Amino acid sequence: MQSPDLAQYLDQIQSYFSQQAELVGPELFGVDISRLDQLVLSQNSVQIHDLEKAVQNCQKCKLAESRNHVVFGAGNPNANLMLIGEAPGAEEDKQGLPFVGKAGQLLDKILIAIGFKRSEVYIANILKCRPPANRDPNPDEIEQCQSHLDQQIESIQPKIILALGRVAGQTLLKSETSLGQMRTQTYQYAGVPLLVTYHPAALLRNPQWKKPAWEDVQKLRHMYDSIVGDKPAWSPSQNKK
Ligand code: SF4
């Protein structure tokens, strides 16, 4: 269930301040235009919270029968960077949170290496429930779950998306292109620039992919700096000891 009252209320406040800013300038009663951003940010939080509540009871595919928890996603609802993986694993299903196992620990290290804290980004998966024995998602499961992800993206309004792994990349691109090919290109999903790289779990199994993955995330960070520019420009030398 959405919270129409609160969302509408925030809309009305935002609209009021916009009108007043047009009439009397960017400052009104000591409130400057930056307050409007804060109101929009609050609305993002409300939307993502409501969506999560609704998805917690989802029964749209058969994975609802075997899951322990719906793993909706986690992070900053106002994030500029959104990461999208494949599906919850055993530990994620147990805790109800994305990327909390060994792959999640590696993901945290990768994020830190390019100057992000996990709390700054938003992390979700293509599927919100764990496929048994971590098998690949079935096409019908992806189809049923896609609207949840699309609504998450709509609420968060990220400036860049990073798809983690072949399944996430192929699903978002509706393509059977290999991961090796996908990671060399910049795409768009729902109007948002999209990059694709290796899933951290794949990096744990294949350490030789860590070097190309490092190249991918450096590219991501440079693109982030040029699009968003809300942090000091990053350079790889910052990670040298
Ligand atoms: S995987 Fe997605 S569509 Fe299937 S039950 Fe879970 S939330 Fe619903």
Q: Give the sheet arrangement for strand 81-85, strand by strand.
A: 74-75, 122-125, 81-85, 160-164, 192-197, 187-189
Which pLDDT belongs to residue 103?
95
pLDDT at 27: 55
- Residue in 57, 63, 167, 171 to alter for ligand 1 test, most ligand atoms within 8 A of Cβ: 63
100-103 contact pairs (CB < 8 A, 24+): 102/201, 102/204, 103/199, 103/200, 103/201, 103/204
Query: What pLDDT does 45 receive?
Result: 87
β partners of residue 188: 193
C-alpha of residue 122 to centroid of ligand 1, in Å: 19
74 lines ligand 1 (CB under 6 A): no
- Which CATH number describes the domain made up of 61-239? 3.40.470.10
Sign of CA dihedral 119, 124, 129, 131: negative
Listed residue (174, 169, 200) closest to 185, CA to CA: 169
Which residue is closest in CA terms to ligand 1's atom 6? 129
Give distance in angstroms: CA of 142 to centre of ligand 1.
Answer: 8
Burial of 40 per CB tally in 10 Å (0-12, 13-18, 19+):
middle
Domain parsing of the chain, residue ranges:
4-44, 61-239
Do the beta carbons of residue 125 and residue 86 sit within 8 Å? yes
Q: Is the CB of 87 under 6 A from ligand 1?
A: no
pLDDT computed for residue 233 by the predictor: 84
Give the residue carrying structure tokens 């700096």: 225
Length of the chain: 241
Q: Is the CB of 106 under 6 A from ligand 1?
A: no
| Predicted local confidence at residue 206, as pLDDT | 97
pLDDT digit of tens for each residue in the chain (241 aa)? 444 455 555 556 556 655 665 666 655 555 555 455 455 556 788 899 999 999 999 999 999 999 999 999 999 999 999 999 999 999 999 999 999 999 999 999 999 999 999 999 999 999 999 999 999 999 999 999 999 999 999 999 999 999 999 999 999 999 999 999 999 999 999 999 999 999 999 999 999 999 999 999 999 999 999 999 888 888 887 765 4
- 47, with CB counted inside 10 A (0-12, 13-18, 19+), is buried
Contact 160, 173 (CB under 8 A): no
Q: What is the pTM of this model?
A: 0.84
Give the model's pLDDT for residue 238.
Answer: 72
pLDDT of residue 189: 98
